[in-house]
């Protein structure tokens, strides 16, 4: 090798004193500590999203947690009852309505029968009655039979039949023997034994019923025919039975 080749200088290593060493280590000591690492994020819930049979939340989990099969139809949107329940309820209501209509029709075929007392009846023989008001037919037939020695209209002795219906509002008066009058318990109307009204709100006298002698000699009373005093009907021969 030629002697002309320049020599590479060798670096000089200067030994450092204690102060220099401390100055070089000071920046490293002044550095802040690194921040703590953030906790690891939780694993995502892949239930129902994975397709692997054995993976968590996969097909096996879906099969295990699948809800019970619904009894609703696919297009049944009712919030309370299923379509089948609604149909059953509708049929039950229809059946009940049909049964009620059928019962009403059957009831119409058999109407109520009002058992009223007969309008005409025989009241016995004239000799069976004494003077005054006889109440034996009041409850059964709604009639008082009165025997008088002098009728206010016919001016003769005999019988007349008074209906037991107050001419005010239709109540049934009571006969007061001590006062010789008919007194209505509802509103206080009073009638004399002749049937003429004299107190209370009754607007007119009691009505008389037809009274005649039957072929066998008994007194026959017919309530179907009535006579009103204010209309002058008490003068009719059948409104008073002369004896």
Is there a domain that residue 196 lies in? yes
- Which residue in 130, 126, 154, 120 sits closest to 216, CA to CA? 126
The pLDDT of residue 101: 87
Whole-model pTM above 0.75?
no
> Distance between CA atoms of 151 and 157, rounded to whole angstroms?
6
Structure tokens at 8: 């590479």
> Distance between CA atoms of 77 and 83, rounded to whole angstroms?
9
Q: Per-residue pLDDT averaged across 224-232, rounded?
A: 95
> Distance between CA atoms of 189 and 187, rounded to whole angstroms?
6
Is there a domain that residue 232 lies in? yes
Specify whether the CB–CB gap between 186 and 155 falls below 8 A: no
Query: Is pLDDT at 134 greater than 60 in this prediction?
Result: yes
Question: What's the CA angle centered on 191, arms 180 and 164, to 5 degrees?
Answer: 100
Specify whether the CB–CB gap between 151 and 163 falls below 8 A: no
Is there a domain that residue 112 lies in? no
The pLDDT of residue 192: 96
Q: Per-residue pLDDT averaged across 68-78, rounded?
A: 57
Q: For the segment 152-196, what is each residue's pLDDT rounded down to a tens digit?
A: 999 999 999 999 999 999 999 999 999 999 999 999 999 999 999
Question: What CATH number corresponds to the domain at position 135?
Answer: 2.102.10.10
Task: Say how many domains are in the chain.
Answer: 1
Q: Per-residue pLDDT averaged across 59-72, rounded?
A: 54
Domain containing 194 equals: 120-242
Q: Per-residue pLDDT averaged across 202-219, rounded?
A: 96
- Positive/negative CA dihedral, 111, 116, 119, 124: positive
Is there a domain that residue 187 lies in? yes
Specify whether the CB–CB gap between 143 and 137 falls below 8 A: yes
Query: Is pLDDT at 16 greater than 80 in this prediction?
Result: no
> Distance between CA atoms of 162 and 137, rounded to whole angstroms?
11
Is there a domain that residue 159 lies in? yes
Q: Look up residue 130 and give its DSSP letter.
A: -
Is there a domain that residue 237 lies in? yes
The pLDDT of residue 29: 47
Query: Is pLDDT at 119 greater than 70 in this prediction?
Result: yes
**Higher pLDDT among residues 121 and 2, named by residue:** 121
Helix (H) or strand (E) holding 227: strand 219-227
104, 115, 146 from 234: Cα distances, Å? 47, 30, 14
Specify whether the CB–CB gap between 194 and 133 falls below 8 A: no
Name the percent of the chain lying above pLDDT 90: 52
- Which residue in 166, 161, 164 sits closest to 239, CA to CA? 161
Is there a domain that residue 17 lies in? no
Is there a domain that residue 101 lies in? no
Helix (H) or strand (E) holding 191: strand 190-192
Phi/psi at 72 (5° precision):
-75, 155
């Amino acid at each position: 090798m030629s002697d002309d080749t320049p020599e590479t200088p060798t670096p000089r290593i200067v030994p450092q004193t204690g102060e220099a060493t401390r100055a070089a280590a000071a920046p490293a000591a002044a550095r802040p500590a690194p921040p703590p690492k953030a906790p690891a994020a939780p694993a995502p819930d892949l239930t129902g999203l994975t397709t692997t049979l054995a993976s968590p939340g996969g097909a096996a989990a879906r099969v295990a947690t699948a809800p019970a099969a619904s009894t609703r139809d696919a297009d049944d949107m009712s919030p309370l009852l299923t379509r089948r329940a609604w149909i059953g309820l509708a049929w039950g209501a229809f059946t009940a309505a049909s049964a009620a209509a059928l019962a009403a029709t059957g009831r119409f075929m058999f109407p109520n029968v009002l058992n009223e007392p007969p309008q005409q009846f025989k009241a016995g023989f004239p000799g069976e009655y004494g003077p005054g008001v006889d109440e034996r037919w009041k409850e059964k037939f709604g009639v008082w039979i009165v025997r008088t020695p002098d009728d206010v209209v016919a001016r003769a002795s005999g019988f007349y039949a008074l209906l037991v219906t107050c001419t005010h509002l239709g109540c049934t008066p009571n006969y007061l023997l001590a006062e010789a009058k008919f007194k209505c318990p509802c509103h206080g109307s009073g009638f004399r034994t002749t049937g003429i009204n004299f107190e209370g709100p009754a607007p007119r006298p009691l009505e008389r019923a037809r009274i005649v002698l039957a072929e066998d000699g008994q007194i026959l009373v017919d309530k179907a025919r009535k006579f009103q005093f204010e209309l002058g009907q008490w003068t009719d021969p059948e409104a008073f039975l002369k004896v």
